[in-house]
Amino acid sequence: MTRTSPLLFALSLVVVGCGPKRAPESGGGAAKDLPAPAEVFERYLKATGVNPASPPPTPAAMHMVADMAMPAQGMGGTVETWTVGSNMLTKMNISGIGELQMGLYEGVGWASDNLEGPRLLEGEERDQLLFDANPRGDLDWATRYTAVEVTDMAPYAEEDCFVVKATKPWGDVRTLYFSQESGLLVGYEERVKMNLGSLNVSTRLSNYREIEGMLTATVFTSKTMGIEQVITLVSLTTSPTELPSLAPPPEIQALIDEAAAQK
């Protein structure tokens, strides 16, 4: 949920193809035996190798490659994501679906696939992309969410976890599960808004390994609408030597120009 945040928005996209702020309040009312949100997040960051008092700078560019599988459907493919500053491009090639693309360029979110064709992302769907495209992810948890509360201790993925409710800027709540033993994030649940409707998604994080000095989850198992998807991180590079153009393709640029002309 730190450097891999831009990759995870691809999970819900595949289903469709088939001023500084103060630190959030804890919300009060927490039981005495529950830790404060800052304690949970700081323990998580330390477990990944990050010093909470001196987090690493945002990389100027990043490149991720992953394999994607939907075992029950016999489908699979590849996912590739590039980020440069606040711009992002994701390309997916999925058997039985074809190529899907999604991007964020100068604040404009867009997507293109064989079912819906090219389109601009608006409203909550765009807000969500902006939120997930941030490569820092939960390194900046205190400003990333508008409210954070540790609400319970409960099992998730066969681990005893602290349950954290984190409110996104537009009001949706992401429920995060942090291992009480290791401090690592083992999963999260949230509602994902897509063009064809909303999805309730549960994602389990596993197979943590050190990548460029930071302990990083490399397997993301997502379940939604009875469909299981598995994304396995193949490589993550924070200083790629080659980058594609992240500018929108011509069909998307035409939509951007049309929207600008209507204003």
pLDDT digits (tens, 9 = 90+) for 83-126: 998 899 999 999 888 899 999 999 999 999 988 899 999 988 89
Quote the CA–CA distance of 112 and 122 in Å, as a whole number.
Answer: 14
For residue 60, what pLDDT band results from cuts at 50, 70 and 90? confident
DSSP helix/strand/coil, 147 = strand
For the chain, the 3-state helix, strand and coil shares in percent, each to the nearest 5, are: 20, 45, 35
Q: Which pLDDT tens digit goes with each residue over 130-161?
A: 998 888 888 899 999 999 999 999 999 999 99
263 pLDDT higher than 60: yes
pLDDT of residue 86: 87
Q: What is the pTM of this model?
A: 0.87
**Range 175-181 average pLDDT:** 98
Burial class (CB in 10 A: 0-12, 13-18, 19+), 56: middle
32 pLDDT higher than 90: no
Burial class (CB in 10 A: 0-12, 13-18, 19+), 139: buried
